[in-house]
Amino acid sequence: MQLTETSSRNKQQNFVSQTVLHHTMEERPVGEAVISNRRLEQDPVKWRLSPSVFMKWALKTSMWLIFVTWIAMFFLYPSKSMEGMFQKLFHATGRTFFGILGAVFLTFSAPILIIAFLAMIYLAAFPREYHEKKKPDFLRFRLRTFPVLINGPLGIVSAAELIGMFMFTAYIIWAFSAYTIQNHRSISKMTLPSKEKSYLMIERSGRRLGSIGLSCLGFLFLPIARGSILLRLIDVPMEHATKYHIWLGHVVMAIFTLHGLCYVVVWSLQGRLLHQIIRWKSNGFSYLPGVISLLTGLLMWVTSLPPVRKKYFELFYYTHQLYAIFIIFLALHVGDSIFSVAAGGIFLYLLDRFLRFCQSRKTVDIVSATILPCGTVELVLSKPRNLSYNALSFIFIRVRELSWLQWHPFSVSSSPLEGRRHLSILIKVLGEWTGKLRENITKASEQPQKDFPYQSHPRITTSVEGPYGHESEYYLTYENLILVAGGIGISPFLAILKDILYRLRENKPCVPKKVLVIWAVKKYEDLSLLSMLDAKSICPSFHDKLHLEIQTYVTQESEPVLEDGKLCESVGCSSFPMTNGSSMSSLVGTGNNIWSGVYFISSTIGFIICLGLMEAFYITPFHVTRWWFKGLLFIICMIASVFLFGGFVVILWHYWERKVLSREKYMNGDDKSRSTQYNEPKKQLVACQPNLASSSSTQYGYRPDFQEIFNSVSERWGKADIGVIVCGPRNLRSSVAAECRSRTMVGNQTIFHFNCHSFDL
């Protein structure tokens, strides 16, 4: 009986090892970020003798080697000449305790986890802090900031992204072509009728498509892990990575759809469609779970298409939560060994999702809320001192009085140097949710607690996720900056300007010397947002160090409704008492790197322990061989490791955070007296057109002419690298990107580096 079980297990391992295929990832600038070396200004001898520099170099080299080996395996696996080598690898590692599952996981999922582990060490040991560097003597052309495709269905695509897309597409074509040739050769040798050979060819092609789709699935979840250590390593913010998730989602679902259609066509021609669809096999692929997974994926795919997503956003959002069903039934369909192909990326997403869940449970106090003359709402939120962010960060916010499920992203409008215990956001009233928020704030301002001491004070209960954003402050690396905003898109640029002014005041490293702000608004009253920036109070002598020019365009008015310089009253300023001093949690986003590393290591080790215990005390003793059931057990181990092992670390992390906050309160005195400056209701007089810039102008009745503006900048600023950052509607981004592309392609002495800061869903 033991010999029979051993023989059966060997056959299963052979079948799985032949079925499991290579995986690939979208060629994003990971390698570029992993191997990118910063300019070292130390003496070469000192550099060679420095242990820290050697450790930094060793970590980068290790991550690079793992990444290159990983990608090479993806491309080599479809090759017939390499098939024998991979078979030997699977059989050699398949004799270990974890069997073929461990072999496949170690080959295809472990590398991404190892890179993530090394990235934890790298960012913890060498945090990215901005240091002013010597200006290079040559202009720098960057693939990441050169837009190539602009008005196509993919939006604005940089040269680096286009190269990655070409390599990713080439891999899929190469893999499918190689497998098609192999299938044709093997089937042509069979003595079967031509019709049966055609059926078999279609069925095997469908199997190969499913394997290629599974390989892509492992990378589908990496871009939407908002606080992912991998995104921080390559300095790609989540708002940019979201479009990679969208591209990968279309590719994955297209491949899986073709995979399912191949089987449907064959089964229909053979007259056994219904019988096969409802079939749930013990060993091998279970078709019914695959059908459920595919239908769930198709529902998410259809509701995510732009016409549906933009018109019925809540439908898109809620159906996208079905990803759990999609993943679980996929594991039931293919079993644990084949599912482990995509397990690495999914596991990293689960780690991030659990942290986000824990962070969002905490109630965050609103220090103050103000309604500006243009109707925009400013919220000032409490945060701990150890929570770091940069001026281009954004947060997700939920207001329980409005909805328990809706989360909305907003750019941070304050500088990290502005206040250690708070950050602010600007919210433009554009829809039902933002309209209700402004209405609640208005009611709160009309019923102050001192006038109604025996009534409950109106409150707004908020939860926050983030902050997220760039790991580095790249806007500080340009001596010349052009900030182009449309409407509320000025919010992150107010944070940038504040950050620059605070750095100038405190004599911190700050490269920007010339800043041009181009801002297009619909109404003149929208210009009151500039009142959020009081440059002279921040740095009275900023004119000596910074040439700031602001060009505003009022597109829907031919003349000013209010006279320039007329004071406008902030109509609705309300304060919310800090009853418990609850501030934002630092579990995700730019949280503590040490605790993040412990959380990751603990969960990963816990995952291995759970798999080992399951194998030793259940699968082997009870002779569990059903593929679908082992796939379910694999998913349970993933979830249990995150909740149990990772959850224990989160509890300790939260306890440590509370101790740090308590110590800070004790050292700084009573928190209530310290926060009085934010909690007292007040009304301010703000100028609608403050004198901020060295040269300011306001144009009425037309939009900015970027060709004329860029011509003027090129003539005045001469040969220079100019960073262009855009935040606004899609048409605005496309116009600026087209101008940057045209000027860089003609070989001008001035290079415009295009950067986009817009979050679209």
Q: Where are the alpha helices (DSSP H) in 77-143?
A: 83-94, 99-108, 110-125
Residue 295 has pLDDT above 50, yes or no: yes
What per-residue confidence (pLDDT) applies to 591?
A: 59
Span 10-16, average pLDDT: 48
CA dist 114 and 122 (Å) reads 12
CA dist 112 and 124 (Å) reads 18
What per-residue confidence (pLDDT) applies to 459?
A: 66
What per-residue confidence (pLDDT) applies to 684?
A: 43
Give me the DSSP letters along 470-485.
-SS-GGGG-SEEEEEE
How much of the chain exceeds pLDDT 90, in percent? 23
145 assigned to some structural domain: no
pLDDT in tens, 393-409: 888 998 888 888 888 88
Query: Parallel, antiparallel, or unpaired: how do β-strands 567-569 and 685-687 relate?
Result: antiparallel
Which of 2-16, 131-145, 458-472, 660-674 is the least confident region? 2-16
Span 699-719, average pLDDT: 87
What per-residue confidence (pLDDT) applies to 668?
A: 57
- Any idea how long the chain is? 761
Alpha-carbon 126 to chain mean position: 22
What per-residue confidence (pLDDT) applies to 747?
A: 61
**Token duo for residue 67:** 């990444």
Which of 17-21, 602-606, 730-734, 737-741 is the least confident region? 17-21
Taking Cα atoms as reference points, which of 87, 98, 80, 65 lies closest to residue 18?
A: 87
Q: Which residue has the higher pLDDT, 139 or 100?
A: 100
Residue 183 has pLDDT above 90, yes or no: no
Q: Which residue has the higher pLDDT, 258 or 558?
A: 258
Domain that holds residue 244: 11-140+190-357+590-654
709 assigned to some structural domain: no
584 assigned to some structural domain: no
What per-residue confidence (pLDDT) applies to 454?
A: 44
Tell whether 132 and 241 lie within a shared domain: yes
CA dist 572 and 446 (Å) reads 8
Residue 339: partners with Cβ closer than 8 Å, 6 or more residues away: 214, 330, 331, 631, 634
Q: Which residue has the higher pLDDT, 452 or 511?
A: 511
pLDDT in tens, 73-84: 877 777 776 666
CA dist 168 and 145 (Å) reads 20
480 assigned to some structural domain: yes
Residue tagged 């708002």 (tokens): 239
Sheet holding 462-468, edge to edge: 408-411, 394-399, 462-468
What per-residue confidence (pLDDT) applies to 572?
A: 47
CA dist 553 and 702 (Å) reads 7
pLDDT in tens, 122-156: 888 887 665 555 555 556 778 888 899 988 888 89
CA dist 421 and 364 (Å) reads 12
Is residue 207 within 8 Å of residue 258, measured between CB atoms? no
Whether the upstream peptide bond of residue 453 has omega within 30° of 0, thus cis, is no
351 assigned to some structural domain: yes
Reading phi first (left if > 0) and then psi (alpha if -120 to 50, else beta), residue 487 is in: left
Q: Which residue has the higher pLDDT, 633 or 418?
A: 633
Tell whether 200 and 320 lie within a shared domain: yes
Whichever domain contains 520, its CATH number is 2.40.30.10
CA dist 591 and 597 (Å) reads 11
What per-residue confidence (pLDDT) applies to 689?
A: 46
Q: Which residue has the higher pLDDT, 675 or 697?
A: 697
pLDDT tier for residue 221 given thresholds of 50, 70 and 90: very high
Q: How far is CA 406 from CA 313, 439, 526, 586, 588, in A?
A: 11, 17, 27, 21, 19
pLDDT in tens, 301-327: 999 998 898 888 888 988 999 999 999
Mean pLDDT score across all residues of the chain: 80
Residue 32: partners with Cβ closer than 8 Å, 6 or more residues away: 144, 160, 234
237 assigned to some structural domain: yes
Tell whether 376 and 420 lie within a shared domain: yes
Span 646-666, average pLDDT: 80
What per-residue confidence (pLDDT) applies to 631?
A: 92
Is residue 460 within 8 Å of residue 366, measured between CB atoms? yes
CA dist 136 and 301 (Å) reads 47
Tell whether 352 and 386 lie within a shared domain: no
Tell whether 254 and 345 lie within a shared domain: yes
Tell whether 239 and 90 lie within a shared domain: yes
Tell whether 299 and 393 lie within a shared domain: no
CA dist 27 and 72 (Å) reads 12
Query: Parallel, antiparallel, or unpaired: how do β-strands 155-158 and 514-521 relate?
Result: unpaired
CA dist 485 and 732 (Å) reads 8
Residue 534 has pLDDT above 90, yes or no: no
DSSP 364: B
pLDDT in tens, 741-756: 888 776 667 888 999 8
What per-residue confidence (pLDDT) applies to 624?
A: 87
Tell whether 206 and 312 lie within a shared domain: yes
Residue 734: partners with Cβ closer than 8 Å, 6 or more residues away: 150, 151, 156
Residue 35 has pLDDT above 70, yes or no: no
613 assigned to some structural domain: yes
Q: Which residue has the higher pLDDT, 284 or 1?
A: 284
What per-residue confidence (pLDDT) applies to 114?
A: 93
What per-residue confidence (pLDDT) applies to 682?
A: 40
What per-residue confidence (pLDDT) applies to 40?
A: 37
Span 34-56, average pLDDT: 52
Tell whether 405 and 539 lie within a shared domain: yes
Tell whether 200 and 69 lie within a shared domain: yes
Total of domains in the chain: 2
402 assigned to some structural domain: yes
Global pTM reads 0.84
Tell whether 538 and 511 lie within a shared domain: yes
Which amino acid makes up residue 513? K
pLDDT in tens, 327-365: 999 999 998 888 998 999 999 999 999 988 888 888 888
Which of 21-35, 226-240, 444-458 is the least confident region? 21-35
What per-residue confidence (pLDDT) applies to 244?
A: 92
Tell whether 371 and 283 lie within a shared domain: no
Q: How far apart are the first and last CA of the chain?
A: 57
What per-residue confidence (pLDDT) applies to 581?
A: 53
Span 95-112, average pLDDT: 81
Burial grade of 679 (CB within 10 A; 0-12, 13-18, 19 or more): middle
